[in-house]
Structure 1
């Protein structure tokens, strides 16, 4: 048993699009003295966003690992890893927005946030529940897909508007 679950493509695309929609116009809007700095910062920020959305969950015969791939793990040192025999419980916590997140509890009482934004979420939960023996039937995605679909559409509209204004300015 070995499986890797990256972040869901809709969520990844939406977060990258949001970054681009908010940051792409800045070099054009900035005073001329700041424009070179912003043009240089734009790809650096994009690489950072790509690193953040590259988080993945790895399930193996020995346990679960949540973290980032090697190319960015040195930069983003967050993550966690547990052997299957260390996992004791799942604890639900209500968020301030009314959603629910779940924490994986280990034998020592430490808590680790269970990823709820992964691709093939149902398969991930099935494999996690089967291996740990914990009931995962009450666990769902942290937010419904329509919220990311709406945000992705709004980002698309913003990017299209920015492109249209840029083309209009070039032709003027």
Structure 2
């Protein structure tokens, strides 16, 4: 969310001081809508109980945007490994009917505990299952996001107080 804000917040200010044909008010509305869409996408909940694993979203998130899914433990046949286009590894639950595959949620707090519960409920060996991103990757992303926010602050301050971009 912070990276989204760091990438978008300067745009209305820069549009105002550079006389672009896009209205700064329109940009603020679009940034707000984008923020809500991103928040909806990131509001995924993973629920594990005795009978199933379930991925849900809050009621305010439209179903056409994000649906969610549920899979009974008894219907899990295997965890299938797939590589991503960026070279990462993800895992899919394959149901016994093999008509659907469900992405194992990998960006959750307590991922190791989730994997142990999956192993306990399904009997599938999960010793090689690792999270997609390591915690240090998020720390690097946070550091660069904070740096970008500092640069954004300086850019907005310079553009609005000194009018440097006003003649561009």
- TM-score greater than 0.5 by the shorter chain: yes
Distance 2:44 2:25 in 1: 31
By how many angstroms is 1:33 displaced?
4.9
> 2:70 aligns to what SS in structure 1?
strand
- TM-score normalised according to structure 1 size: 0.83
Kindly indicate whether the alpha-carbon contact (under 8 Å) linking 1:68 and 1:76 is maintained by their aligned counterparts in 2.
no
Structure 1 unaligned residues grouped into runs of 5+: 1-15
- Residue by residue, what CA displacement relative to the aligned partner does 1:91-111 show, whole Å, maximum 9, x if unpaired? 111223222111101011121
- What residue number does 2:152 align with? 162
- What residue number does 2:107 align with? 117
> 2:61 aligns to what SS in structure 1?
helix
Distance 1:77 1:95 in 2: 21
Alignment of 1:23-34 (within 5 A): 23-30=8-15, 31=20, 33-34=22-23
- What residue number does 1:82 align with? 71
Distance 1:150 1:104 in 2: 30
Distance 2:81 2:159 in 1: 52
Kindly indicate whether the alpha-carbon contact (under 8 Å) linking 1:67 and 1:73 is maintained by their aligned counterparts in 2.
no
Could you say what the CA RMSD is over the residues aligned between the two structures, in angstroms? 1.7
By how many angstroms is 1:141 displaced?
0.6
- What residue number does 2:59 align with? 70
Alignment of 1:9-158 (within 5 A): 16-30=1-15, 31=20, 33-74=22-63, 76-109=65-98, 110-158=100-148
Q: Which moved more, 1:66-75 or 1:90-99?
A: 66-75
- TM-score normalised according to structure 2 size: 0.84
- What residue number does 1:7 align with? none
* Structure whose alpha-carbon radius of gyration is higher: 2
Count of matched residue positions in the alignment of Structure 1 and Structure 2: 157
- What residue number does 1:3 align with? none
- Residue by residue, what CA displacement relative to the aligned partner does 1:31-77 show, whole Å, maximum 9, x if unpaired? 26521111111211111111111112111122011131223254533
Distance 2:101 2:158 in 1: 53
